[in-house]
Amino acid sequence: MSTVSHDLGEQLRTLITSGLEAPYTSHSGFDGTATGNHYQSVAVGAQATEGFRGDRAGVLDCLDFRGRKVLDLGSNLGEMSRSARTRGARLVDGVEYDPFFVELAQLITAYNGQSRVSFRQGDITDPALYGERYDLVMALSVFHYVSRVIDQLAEITDVLIIETHKLHGNFDGGYLLPVQERFPAMRVLGQTDWGQLGDGSEMRLVILFAKDRERLDDVLGSPQAWARSPSAPAARRTERTIDPALSSTHSAFFEAWDYATAEELLAAVRSTQIPVEAFAANRNVSRHGYSGWAYWLLYLKGWMHYRETGAAGPGNPYFDYMTAHYVPVMTADYVPDGADATIGRELRDPAVAEQVIRRRFADLDRFEAERIDGVAADMAPIRATVGPIAPPSPLKLVERTRGETILARRIDGWHRLFGARLLGVPALRVEIVEEPRSLPPLQGAVEAFAIEEGVVSAAGWCLHPHTALDAIELRRGGETVALAIPHEREDVALAHVGVAHARSTGFALEGKLRDWADEPTRFELLGICDWLPVGRMRIDFEPGMLVTPAPPADLLAHIYGSGDLTRLVLRTALASNALLDAVEPYRQLETFRDAVHWDAGCGLLLPLAARRLLRATLTPLVEDPAARAWVEDAGRAGPPVAISQEAPTELADGAADLVLRDRPLAVLSYDQLVAWLVELRRVLRPGGYAALVTGWAEAERATMLELCGAWLDVVGARTAAAWAGGHVVVLRRP
């Protein structure tokens, strides 16, 4: 590998950076499909740049590129080509339709000092392109084009790697059938992201096809992409400059206190008497917090008192309000708009609270003293958090030069923004932080849940394995319904002795829903750390599910270890949707005709699954005689079939096109699992699917998935289950 000189390297890096940042859009010569610049995340030397698509190293690591000649179709900026060469490919040719991307790919490759990687402009839908022989062909996220030249690809290679576009029930007909006629052996390597515009629910797959099993096995290197838990995604951060006067954050105050100048406004506030105890009962301060007018009146009165006396502790009206009234609001079920949950603990210690308040007053001091002419360059930027789904009432900031509106979910820096707007500071820096679109699951349980007249309440516990949570938030879509500081749970601490922060994991939330209709609704519980979500749990609500006639509590306790119907139904609703959500990208749910619930217990999942499997007959497989009798009497599905933990069943060959199991496979012994995999292969029709909760520890997941793959195709895994301790594996009968 060669390197470029320092001076030339700096010039080349500048050229590459300007190229990646250029507002350029490519249009396909085949159908005009637009592709924006910086589609791929690329490495420029030691620096990793973030593009529309994330890193796909995990699936490439499954392949043995060593000594192979590789063709990369639709190579874009060339990152996949360079990655193949880094992993030992003998030679890599990339073909890309757009000459701008070809030039950028060549520049990046030159800067990185990689040899035997070349790029050329070409139309990958043109059959004449394919004349040279390759050991392996990659067609990542370009199947729309290469599906037209599968015959030509079969003439030049024995191994083809496909990355799908968005899966929406089209796996079989859209990808397998067109390719397997020429490349019959298949192995799904793993799942990749949809891109920065997705919300985390979309998925693509990377599939290895070969002309026979021997060639497929030969190119597999370390096929464990499914077995590794995904790393937590990093938040994207960019810095902008905003005009404080155009923000929506403090409009209520400046509309209520509308004066021509800041001096007149401050004089009016100075002359206003505010008895803190009485004023704290004002509904504006208790219900609207930062987004109201009353809070900022208290803040200004406190600042004026501080300027006159130097006191920011007891006796200062703002201090007295924050320590005596703000903390109780923060620990109650209701949290006012804009409230800072992370500061609640600091305000409980009077000495720490005084330091916090002095810092808030110091920013106002600086703005008042300097009346800064321009951007406050040496002041830390405020931070605006934006999400993939905008909230119903976002906080609006306006970019200073281009006039673009930033729709923020939260702002860290309300007091600096207020001071800047009050005292006429023309510009402030703001760091825009994008919430990750996909989040790892939190451990925990929802122990109580109810919706009455549009008011939702939830209680339980949630635990992030590596960090303490500052707050727990309940959302419906983009709407924040409730927010609370975690409270102590001694039982959780005892169950997780090695986790120092396990005690502070309890939550009790209550909030009013906008435009509530009694209909199936998905809620999310988000663990918040430094105002960013770091993990999630789901709550799936369906009308009537908590009051449906249920088995007696003693039977529930016998089967599930708990007689608490609410907890069991909530968990089962999550399980049902997690299993069906895992299957739905591969095959449309309405096409299933015969579904089997393996180890159905008391049948709690059956009515929940039936609401989505509209045309399927559900057959429960039940081991316990009492539970089997109850399920049969309840008539929730077809007649239950008796089973034991040992296969086989009484089901006929090819009796089902879908099998669901929400009890973890980890409860089975190795021999039992093997027997059941053999049974699943017998019971499922060709093209049928099974979605199963694994319960395997990460250390054993690779081995167990390999075992599954010996009998059925593993086409989905690592799908985060919505309850503690689970992952879902999706298997397909070849």
SS (H, E, C) 94-105: EEECCHHHHHHH
Indicate the range of 542-546, 564-568, 720-724 predicted with least confidence. Answer: 720-724
User: 703-707 long-range CB contacts below 8 Å, 24 or more apart?
Assistant: 704/665, 704/673, 705/226, 705/227, 705/729, 706/223, 707/673, 707/674, 707/677
Coil, helix or strand at residue 73: strand
Coil, helix or strand at residue 269: helix
Which CATH number does the domain 553-732 belong to among 3.40.50.150, 1.10.150.130, 3.50.50.60, 3.40.50.300? 3.40.50.150
Q: Where would I find the H helices in 139-212? A: 143-146, 150-156, 171, 177-180
Give the per-residue pLDDT at 331.
45
Tens of pLDDT, residue by residue over 55-76, are: 788 889 999 999 999 999 999 9
pLDDT at 148 over 80: yes
Dump the DSSP string for 467-490: S--SEEEEEETTEEEEEE--EE-H
- Strand pairing partners for 399? 242
pLDDT at 335 over 50: no
The structure tokens listed for 581 are 């959500």
Cα separation, 412 vs 121, whole angstroms: 47
Which band of pLDDT confidence, cut at 50, 70 and 90, is reported for residue 425?
confident
Tens of pLDDT, residue by residue over 243-264, are: 999 999 999 999 999 999 999 9
pLDDT at 437 over 90: no
CATH 3.40.640.10 for domain 6-223, yes or no, is no
How much is the average pLDDT of 208-225? 87
Closest C-alpha among 266, 725, 680, 239 to residue 465? 725
The structure tokens listed for 454 are 């549009």
Give the per-residue pLDDT at 332.
40
How much is the average pLDDT of 653-674? 94
Indicate the range of 23-37, 204-218, 490-504 predicted with least confidence. Answer: 23-37
Coil, helix or strand at residue 428: strand
CB 482 within 8 A of CB 531: no
CB 595 within 8 A of CB 656: yes
Higher pLDDT among residues 304 and 700, named by residue: 304
Number of continuous H segments (helices) and E segments (strands) in the chain: 26, 32
Which band of pLDDT confidence, cut at 50, 70 and 90, is reported for residue 543?
confident
How much is the average pLDDT of 534-538? 88
Cα 513 to chain centroid, rounded: 23
pLDDT at 1 over 50: no
Give the per-residue pLDDT at 38.
84
Residue 529 main-chain phi, psi, to 5 deg: -130, 120
- Strand pairing partners for 660? 597, 691
Higher pLDDT among residues 338 and 435, named by residue: 435
Which band of pLDDT confidence, cut at 50, 70 and 90, is reported for residue 369?
confident
How much is the average pLDDT of 184-208? 79
The structure tokens listed for 672 are 């039992």
Cα separation, 436 vs 434, whole angstroms: 6
Give the per-residue pLDDT at 113.
92
CB 389 within 8 A of CB 408: no
Which band of pLDDT confidence, cut at 50, 70 and 90, is reported for residue 333?
very low
How much is the average pLDDT of 12-41? 85
pLDDT at 273 over 70: yes
Cα separation, 35 vs 28, whole angstroms: 8
Tens of pLDDT, residue by residue over 504-528, are: 999 999 988 988 888 889 999 999 9
How much is the average pLDDT of 610-621? 94
Question: In a 10 Å sphere around its CB, with 0-12 CB exposed, 13-18 middle and 19+ buried, how is residue 5 labelled?
Answer: exposed
How much is the average pLDDT of 309-325? 92
Mean residue pLDDT across the chain: 88
Which band of pLDDT confidence, cut at 50, 70 and 90, is reported for residue 344?
low
Coil, helix or strand at residue 383: strand
Give the per-residue pLDDT at 144.
92
Which band of pLDDT confidence, cut at 50, 70 and 90, is reported for residue 227?
low
pLDDT at 196 over 80: no
Residue holding tokens 């929406």?
A: 168
Cα separation, 713 vs 708, whole angstroms: 7
Residue 288 main-chain phi, psi, to 5 deg: -115, -15
Residues in CB range of 170: below 8 A, 6 or more apart: none
CATH 2.60.40 residue window(s) in the chain: 443-541
Which band of pLDDT confidence, cut at 50, 70 and 90, is reported for residue 375?
low
Cα separation, 433 vs 529, whole angstroms: 13
The structure tokens listed for 329 are 């609001």
pLDDT at 362 over 60: yes
| Beta-carbon count within 10 A of 67 CB | 10
Give the per-residue pLDDT at 41.
85
CATH 3.40.50.150 residue window(s) in the chain: 6-223, 553-732
Cα separation, 284 vs 291, whole angstroms: 9
pLDDT at 330 over 50: no
Indicate the range of 283-287, 462-466, 489-493 predicted with least confidence. Answer: 283-287
CATH number of 443-541: 2.60.40
